[in-house]
Amino acid sequence: MPRHPDAQVAVITPTQLDPRRRHYLTDLYRSLTLQSIPFEWVIAPNGPDADPAVIPSLIANDPRVRIRPRPRPGAAPARNLALNDVTAPYTCFVDDDDLLPPDSLAVRYHRAVETGLGWVAGWSADLHLDGTLSTWVCPTPVGRHEPGDVWTYWPSPASKPPLGHTMLLARTELARACGGHGGLWKGEDYVYVMSISGRSAGELLPVVTYHYRDHEHQMTEDTAYRDVDELAARTFAFLQGESERALRRAGANATEGLASAGRS
């Protein structure tokens, strides 16, 4: 596996290389070249029709890029297996049709290094067809959050999740230890958010670090996407977050009990 000793952040992008949205990949690449810290980019084409040969040579020939085809379909396994190729200490996930503002990687990376936190997130903004942006102020408030606290801003599986997984920049070892995005065929991003925020303290910054492109071929905007399976995935992640928090609190109480017994 080639190593990139200067890379501070790994960017992982699963893609089906859908011809209706494939041109967005070049836009994403250009936004990555504007980042102010060294990065590595792992592109994971997945599915039987995702032919890596159609990736523009401008991208494929960049030494910072590794292309790892995954013939079987599924964004979750593509993201998880791409972690095998990561050498950078921090990792984030970016979808193939979205963009990063120029300070996206640096502002989260420097804050994570400065604080020693397991994850740092920024806000996401919708990028509309006319080029305007509208920021999504997520349910999780700005500031530091202890392990398990992010779940408390998710009232029920049917409500908006507390954070978006592409908003997170996390320590690579934490992403691996949490099992990445699980194995769900949809809604795997909820699992990742609950895993990362449930296992480690982190911080949400009041700055936009992600541009979510609003267009007609967004898979999650298709009316067929929000079906019983998607709700089941939300429920799975919701219960996971609840359990992560309960187990952590139980462990903390047990530790405090032992400490009190030792002092008595």
Q: Each residue of 26-79: pLDDT tens digit?
A: 999 999 999 999 999 999 999 888 899 999 999 999 999 999 998 787 899 999
Res. 224: pLDDT tops 60: no
Identify the band that residue 190 occupies on the pLDDT scale cut at 50, 70 and 90: very high
The pLDDT of 222-244, averaged and rounded, is 85
Helix (H) or strand (E) holding 78: helix 75-82
110-157 pLDDT, tens digit per residue, is: 999 999 999 999 999 999 989 999 999 999 999 999 999 999 999 999
Strand, coil or helix: what is 11?
Answer: strand
Q: Alpha helix locations (H) across the chain? A: 24-33, 57-60, 75-82, 104-115, 172-177, 188-199, 228-263
Pairwise CA distance, residues 7 & 254, whole Å: 40
Mean of per-residue pLDDT scores for the chain: 91
Q: How far is residue 22 CA from its own chain's centroid?
A: 20
Strand, coil or helix: what is 172?
Answer: helix
Its sign, for the CA torsion 86, 89, 92, 96, is negative
Token pair recorded at residue 52: 């890596």
Give all strands (DSSP E) within 97-213, no chain letters: 119-127, 133-136, 143-145, 168-171, 202-213
Res. 262: pLDDT tops 90: no
DSSP 159: S
Pairwise CA distance, residues 72 & 86, whole Å: 20
Res. 223: pLDDT tops 80: no
Res. 261: pLDDT tops 70: no
Res. 222: pLDDT tops 60: no
Q: What is the pLDDT of residue 225?
A: 55
Res. 194: pLDDT tops 80: yes
Identify the band that residue 206 occupies on the pLDDT scale cut at 50, 70 and 90: very high
